Structure 1
């Protein structure tokens, strides 16, 4: 077994040195999860085997996230198969709510997170020697299958001493290499369309008063999100071209429209609020490359795009929602707003203009 861990570490070192490959891609090439790749780097081994070291953390996730703030500015990274969301800021005002504190929030400042701790299984403090001699330190969290949920990377201005104190506080007594994995969580199968009470579903959608009630609506009718959009009243959901994301981001940058970008996986949703400035295509990737916010979205993974309208006490709230071929959410985009505020006119006009044959502007 130790020999296999040695082989994984050496394969990692070779891929990082020769191809500058990313952790995720190295793990995939080795037919293991990213969490398993890191876990192979736990414990003692010769320095020449790999530039990376990992220390296993105790599964006290809520308290750990609440203790991040003293580190100061860090980079938060959340991704799914098709989109990477990177945001720089301070983890302020963290809280955990509900039965067993399984729903977490980080709400103050640039770091805006919705956390679902029931999916969190493994965590590591990671230190990697980079080619320029610098040490990149991070905290990385994974689900039962070893798939990445969330990562926190230190910046040059981060408090290194506070990081080490946090790691020592949450360090697990178990520091042997290896990771026991389980099957990844899957969305429940959606019912056949002809078994859904479409009239009742549409009536309840029309009666929504808060965007957060939409999840409950789906749960009551046992619908997947894409199935709900297919069955919705057309005034509330319209299909758009899969190129809509690139057009929307580019025009938002050109026109100075402040937006919200939600990217997540089963264990985390990470949100950017504010303008975007530099939007660039690189191969299949749509990129936002701004100080403090980077987005990398695989346009070729977008199988469907929808304009979605939800009634609220503040009026209609409209979004662009992107899905892959399996119906999984890639990203959602809204106009920047706070509860109690009506939707921005510039956002709504931008979004509505993506509809084929739409007028130049719509009333708001």
Structure 2
């Protein structure tokens, strides 16, 4: 009697170890990382200063404050919303701190707390209005943008007689607050601004919250479908309000860094930066439709900004080319993100 060997059972592909390419393709930030590598290599080759410690300190500093805001905006975009008041909010918080410290004589630390409360209140109001009225966040925060811009100009001119607040270095508590928000640290004899460390810390915390906590799951859920999320018990109102407050907190942090570093604030600063935050988040893998993105990717998107902006300067090119770079990067990022999202959906099935 002949015995036939039984064929080994076929492995179930659903429980098999995914391929490396499949594991990479589901990461929203993979496109941004490849783009950052290309930009880094390109400017390292065409310029001499780019790779020096001084060059690195410059483009990292350029990316740091932009990156803090881009990461916060990315979380909000993953949650399905936009905040067009984010740029002006950085100026508003700086002006509140400066006016309270220089005109009313408050300690800088107390002024910072008041400006933080102001920022969080505006963020909470934005979120509440979006959820209670059903209006698009684009419209609500555009209204906030104009309101804050008018307040910045009107109050600053009323209090100081100009559109600028100066004299922060003479305020009580400036030295200790400046050490936390505007000091430098040394690497190889080169000074690096502490805002770079704030950028790294903010990115790490935001990424951990997004991928390792229940709140992070809520962010993806409400960005994918707020109605379905509500049906399975996700607190949509609380989640979106907290996301708007996170953006406001990031604006306060950037505004604090700016006012303590430069010791003055202009009433019209920050206008237009909100689009750069959104572009950096999109370059980093966020979809304009919500439900997909990465905090790390937004940080990498901001890093691309910093490297390109300073690389163009080091290459002695006309800075007007940076606007062309932004437009090309935005279009490329949108196309690549859509492709990666569709591929990731197939992989997950």
Higher helix share: 2
Higher relative contact order (CA 8 A, sep 6+): 2
Fold shared per TM-score above 0.5:
no
Structure with max Cα Rg? 2
By percentage of residues, which structure has more strand?
1
TM bin, normalised by shorter chain, reads: under 0.3
